[in-house]
Each structure stands twice: as structure tokens, then as C-alpha cells.
């Protein structure tokens, strides 16, 4: 039987090492890895476990009992609906989850690249100013998924 999860998993949920029980996932910059047993920290969605030498977390690393740090798979900066440029999509998601927990609107992905860079995108500026904007959530999710891959 799986242990009960806390009401608030900051980095979302993931499956444990045996892929049988949901656990609170580790967020960007938090510990991950270990012996590959129950209770070892697991990275959240869009994150991967990287050991200090920068080697991706693999079966070999697990066998050597190395622990690492969760890092975002996507490294490109992104622009959020709040008009803020984020280091990557993972940082934007963290800020968005935090906002929603505080009963504030979520921060949505607007474009790849920093705000105000590349092609002109007034949507972020209009949203930040409280103006009307038409966002297509399904399109944002598809683009977000493409950033993570």
C-alpha cells in the first residue's frame, strides 16, 4: 500500500523507483537519485537527475548509488504571460504553481525566448497590463511540450 501524500507537493507528483506509488517530486535544484529504492527522491515533470560531473542519471549511475540534482531538460529562456522572462519552462511552471496556490492567475507560456526578443509579441505586455488577450491553452501546451523534449 502506498503512503499518503502531503496535501502540497511543491514540484508536483511523480512515481517512485518501482513506478507503483505516487510521491512528491523533487523540483529544480533539489536532490534526486540514490540507490534506486523506495524513498529516493525522484525529479518532477520536465526535469532530469544530473550527477555532479554532469552525467545524465542512468542505470549505471543508480548502481553506483550516486545522488544528483534535478535540472530542467529545456534550457531555452521563455516569456511568461506576466511579461517576465524565465530561465526555462521549468522555472515558469514553478512560478505558475506558486501563483495558483496563492489564488492568483497562472503564469502561461507565451513564447520561446526572452520577453521582448525575437518577433513582436504584444500578448505578454497586454496580459501584464490587464488587457484582453486571446490565448489558446492547447497551443501553449503543445509548444511547452516541444520545449521540454
Q: What is the pLDDT of residues 84-142, one digit of tens each?
A: 999 999 999 999 988 998 999 999 999 999 998 655 455 555 555 555 444 444 444 44
* Mean pLDDT within 51-73: 67
The residue with greater pLDDT, 45 or 142, is 45
**Mean pLDDT estimate for the chain:** 76
Residues facing residue 32 across a β-bridge? 68
State residue 12's pLDDT score.
84
Tell me how far apart the alpha carbons of residues 85 and 116 are, in angstroms, rounded to a whole number: 9
Would you say 125 and 79 are in contact if contact means Cβ atoms under 8 Å apart?
no
Per the domain annotation, does 5 fall within a domain? no
Domain final position from 72, 92, 123: 72
Count how many residues are written for the chain: 149
Question: Is residue 68 domain-shared with residue 82, that is, in the same domain?
Answer: no
* Mean pLDDT within 37-64: 69
- For residue 118 the three cell numbers come to 525575437
Question: Is residue 89 domain-shared with residue 65, that is, in the same domain?
Answer: no
C-alpha pair distances (Å), 104 with each of 45, 48, 66, 98, 123: 22, 28, 39, 9, 19
Question: Is residue 47 domain-shared with residue 93, that is, in the same domain?
Answer: no
Question: Is residue 67 domain-shared with residue 25, that is, in the same domain?
Answer: yes
Q: What share of the chain is helix, strand, coil (3-state, %, to 5)?
A: 25, 20, 55
* Mean pLDDT within 32-59: 73
Domain final position from 30, 49, 72: 72
Owner of C-alpha cell 497590463: 129
State residue 130's pLDDT score.
55
Question: Is residue 49 domain-shared with residue 97, that is, in the same domain?
Answer: no
Question: Is residue 85 domain-shared with residue 139, that is, in the same domain?
Answer: yes
Per the domain annotation, does 3 fall within a domain? no
Segments forming the whole domain that contains residue 42? 13-72
Tell me how far apart the alpha carbons of residues 71 and 67 are, in angstroms, rounded to a whole number: 13
State residue 110's pLDDT score.
96
Amino acid at each position: 500500500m502506498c503512503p499518503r501524500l502531503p496535501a502540497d507537493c511543491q514540484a508536483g507528483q511523480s512515481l517512485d523507483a518501482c513506478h507503483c506509488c505516487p510521491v512528491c517530486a523533487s523540483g529544480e535544484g533539489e536532490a534526486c537519485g540514490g540507490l534506486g529504492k523506495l524513498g529516493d527522491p525522484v525529479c518532477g515533470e520536465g526535469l532530469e537527475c544530473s550527477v555532479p560531473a554532469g552525467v545524465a542519471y542512468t542505470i549505471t549511475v543508480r548502481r553506483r548509488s550516486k545522488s544528483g540534482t534535478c535540472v530542467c531538460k529545456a534550457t531555452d529562456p521563455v516569456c511568461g504571460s506576466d511579461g517576465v522572462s524565465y530561465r526555462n519552462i521549468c522555472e515558469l511552471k514553478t512560478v505558475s504553481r506558486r501563483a495558483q496556490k496563492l489564488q492568483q492567475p497562472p503564469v502561461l507560456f507565451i513564447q520561446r525566448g526572452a520577453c521582448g526578443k525575437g518577433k513582436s509579441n504584444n500578448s505578454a505586455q497586454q496580459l501584464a497590463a490587464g488587457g484582453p488577450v486571446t490565448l489558446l491553452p492547447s497551443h501553449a501546451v503543445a509548444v511547452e511540450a516541444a520545449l521540454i523534449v
